[in-house]
Structure 1
């Protein structure tokens, strides 16, 4: 990752944004695989897709991580809430709870 201050023109900035987006997509693909595995484990354990305490924990972690990285925790929370809800819907489909 390049320091944004070192990017001298829009072409370099856009290239770095595109590279960052690609890395984010790879991380999201990995997370999706983890969610799929969670659904498999929950099936065997008889657990529901939504576990409120865990949802709260993930959101709290998102806010803490945002603060540690110097980004807006409200933005992080909003993004993670959407990500968590998507993940729960995916698990519900696998678990037949939709």
Structure 2
């Protein structure tokens, strides 16, 4: 994303909004790519109970929160985003695995 103006060079709200919009588009692309791995994980798991791994979640959130703070992002913001994302992923996996076991189509 080298085409973004550095924040200090943004002279207007429009400049800042354009940068945020470009970053949001990149975040969506990355989240969509991440989702392909979540789908694959749901294909590999054999039981809906496997979708929730408390130890993995807590380890992951702690690591991401620490890394976020190192990057200058408030840890609480990173934690809130990832906990929401993880909760959605757990629900998605449970639905997908349950549907597969019941002989239904995989959730999209």
TM-score range, shorter chain: 0.7 to 0.9
**Equivalence for 2:24:** 21
1:62 aligns with 2:64: yes
Alpha-carbon distance in structure 2 between the residues aligned to 1:12 and 1:46? 46
Q: Gaps spanning 5+ residues in structure 1: where? A: none
Q: How many residues align?
A: 96
Aligned to 2:52, the other structure's residue is in SS state: coil
4+ residue stretches of structure 1 with deviation over 3 A? Answer: none
Q: CA deviation at 1:46?
A: 8.5
Alpha-carbon distance in structure 2 between the residues aligned to 1:64 and 1:72? 9
**Equivalence for 1:38:** 41
1:74 aligns with 2:93: no
**Equivalence for 1:95:** 97
Alpha-carbon distance in structure 1 between the residues aligned to 2:37 and 2:70? 24
Contact 2:38 2:93 survives alignment (8 Å): yes
Greater gyration radius: 2
Which TM-score applies when normalising by structure 2? 0.80
Structure whose residues are more often helix by fraction: 1
Higher RCO structure, 1 or 2 (CA under 8 Å, sep 6+): 1
